[in-house]
Amino acid sequence: MKGKLIIFSAPSGAGKTTIVRHLLGKFPELRFSISATTRAPRGEEKDQRDYYFIPKEEFLHKVARQEFIEFEEVYNGTFYGTLRSEIDRIWDTGKHVVFDIDVEGGLRLKRKFGEQALAIFVQPPSLDVLIERLKGRGTDSPEKLEERIVKAAKELLYADKFDYVLKNNELEIACAEAEQLVADFLAK
pLDDT, mean of residues 91-120: 95
| 59 has a pLDDT exceeding 80 | yes
Q: Which neighbouring-strand residues pair with 121?
A: 9, 165
The structure's pTM equals 0.89
In sequence order, what E strands does 5-154 have? Answer: 5-9, 30-32, 35-37, 51-53, 68-75, 78-83, 96-101, 117-123
Number of domains comprising the chain: 1
Report d(CA 49, CA 12) in Å as an integer: 19
| 24 has a pLDDT exceeding 90 | yes
Structural domain range at position 155: 5-187
Rounded percentage of the chain residues whose pLDDT exceeds 90: 75
- 1 — pLDDT class (breaks 50, 70, 90): low
pLDDT, mean of residues 118-131: 90
CATH number, domain containing residue 151: 3.40.50.300
What's the whole-number average pLDDT of the chain? 92
The per-residue pLDDT for range 146-166, each reduced to its tens digit, is 888 888 889 999 999 999 999
